[in-house]
Amino acid sequence: MRLLRAVGVFFKKADMLLLALCLAASLFGVVILSSTTRYMGSGHYILTQLLAIGLGVALYIALTLFDVEILVGQSVPLFAFNMLFISTLFIWGVAGNTGNRSWLAFSWLPFSIQPAEICKITFILINAAIMRNRQRRISEPRTVMKLAAHLIITAGLIILASDDFGVALIYVFVFLLMAFTGGVSKYWFYSGLGLSAIAAPILWFGLFREDQKNRIIALFDPSIDPTGSGVRWQTNLSLRAIRGGGITGQGLYCGDLVQAGANPQQHNDFVFSSIAEELGIVGCVLTLLLLTAIIIRCLYVGAKSGSYLNRQICVGIAGMMIFQVAVNVGMCLGLFPVVGLTLPFISSGGSSLVSTFFAMGIVSGIRMHPSPDSAAAYVRPPSLA
């Protein structure tokens, strides 16, 4: 009876629009995956992706029914979890196609786990907890230093454990967006900009690998790879696929590069250029509109939650999505260096898909458990609802 009652409550109060958008995006991703992996046998990839969707939906339901306030109240254990989970990469980390030791792979799991993907969510919750606890003193040095220390320790550990600057940048963007919307004084942003300018040479000469430097330089200086067979190879093929798609594309399962398996990481990091080749600009625009609708829905729920804490959590989750979409698409267009970030819901990757559904479940839970003064806001939502 309790289970049936919980299911009834879920269908009555959960954010079914957000779930529908997430399912539409992820199932569209499965269709694209079936095309981009057909040349090497798509069965395993599709099964793994469907399993990840199933687990993601289960987590969405569980997090909807769960009050996020309980999780936020455990910020210290959450921080310890992040540190321990990311640290496992020092022992069991496996390198991916970008050369970063970002994954945990075990024979008994159908997909690999990327700790930094999962810890993004707990990072947002911890950040929101710090900001809520010191909301009236948000711009005091003690608060800002605490927030900055949380970012530096977490992102720094990711870089040390996996050498994955791309994922670490998500944490930086989320931190900055949450700080800005949370009311942190502009003085601290200007100060941070100055410190970043000072630290940039240290990072460039002390931490970046040679191949990482070349990926950045190649954006402005094509002579770094005059033949286009080195650091510009992936980007050149991605742009060729995009140009080949035109307005309406060559057709699903009909892309010249995609069906030959010639577009590098065409089911993962460069899935957007695969969409462009087979479905054209029309397919790309529809994909971006779908992902934009999810982001807007997250921001809408946060704005209507009536709670500073809930708003900051939703902003952090939306920021995570915004950064990944912008960088992934920019990477395919040659506007950003290749950093190995997936396109949310669309790219192949169980860890990324599950963690994104996890985040959306938190947003749905916020809608289901609004603050008392915002309960009426969900009776008749505007057009996005």
The span from the CA of 30 to the CA of 146, in Å, is: 41
Q: Which residues of 253-291 are buried (b: 16+ CB within 10 A; e: fewer)?
A: eebebbbeeebbbbbbbbbbbbbbbbbbeebbeebeebb
Mean pLDDT for the stretch of residues 312-326: 95
Q: What pLDDT, on the 0 to 100 scale, is given for residue 220?
A: 75
Q: Is the pLDDT of residue 376 over 60?
A: no
**Which tokens belong to 178?**
């949450």
Q: Is the pLDDT of residue 129 over 90?
A: yes
Mean residue pLDDT of the chain comes to 86
Q: What pLDDT, on the 0 to 100 scale, is given for residue 111?
A: 67
The span from the CA of 281 to the CA of 278, in Å, is: 9
Q: What pLDDT, on the 0 to 100 scale, is given for residue 382?
A: 41
Name the pTM for this structure. 0.90
Phi-psi label, residue 41: left if phi above 0, alpha if psi -120 to 50, beta otherwise: left
The span from the CA of 272 to the CA of 32, in Å, is: 10
**Which tokens belong to 167?**
């994922």
Residues of the chain with pLDDT > 90, as a percent, come to: 46
Q: What pLDDT, on the 0 to 100 scale, is given for residue 171?
A: 95
Q: Is the pLDDT of residue 217 over 50?
A: yes
Give residue 109's pLDDT band: very low, low, confident or very high (50, 70, 90): low
Q: What pLDDT, on the 0 to 100 scale, is given for residue 302?
A: 93
Residues of the chain with pLDDT > 70, as a percent, come to: 89
**Which tokens belong to 120?**
């993004």
**Which tokens belong to 259?**
């069906």
Residue 331 to residues 28, 36, 159, 232, 269: CA-CA distances in angstroms? 21, 18, 20, 11, 9
Q: What pLDDT, on the 0 to 100 scale, is given for residue 144?
A: 93
Q: Where are the domains of the chain?
A: 15-378
3-state SS of the chain is CHHHHHHHHHHHHCCHHHHHHHHHHHHHHHHHHHHHCHHHCCHHHHHHHHHHHHHHHHHHHHHHHCCHHHHHCCHHHHHHHHHHHHHHHHHHEECCCCCCCCEECCCCCCCCECHHHHHHHHHHHHHHHHHHHCHHHCCCHHHHHHHHHHHHHHHHHHHHHHCCHHHHHHHHHHHHHHHHHCCCCHHHHHHHHHHHHHHHHHHHHHCCCHHHHHHHHCCCCHHHCCCCCCCCHHHHHHHHHHHHHCCCCCCCCCCHHHHHCCCCCCCCCCHHHHHHHHHHHHHHHHHHHHHHHHHHHHHHHHHHCCCHHHHHHHHHHHHHHHHHHHHHHHHHCCCCCCCCCCCCCCCCCHHHHHHHHHHHHHHHHHHHCCCHHHHHHHCCCCCCC
- Would you say how long the chain is, in residues? 385
Q: What pLDDT, on the 0 to 100 scale, is given for residue 380?
A: 44
Per residue in 57-76, pLDDT (tens digit) is 999 999 998 888 888 888 99
Sign of CA dihedral 55, 76, 189, 335: negative
Q: What pLDDT, on the 0 to 100 scale, is given for residue 222?
A: 72
Q: What pLDDT, on the 0 to 100 scale, is given for residue 242?
A: 92
Q: Is the pLDDT of residue 176 over 90?
A: yes
Q: What pLDDT, on the 0 to 100 scale, is given for residue 96?
A: 64
Q: Is the pLDDT of residue 322 over 90?
A: yes
Per residue in 224-280, pLDDT (tens digit) is 766 666 677 788 888 999 998 889 989 999 888 988 888 888 788 889 999 999 999
Give residue 297's pLDDT band: very low, low, confident or very high (50, 70, 90): very high
Closest CA to 146 of 177, 179, 122: 179
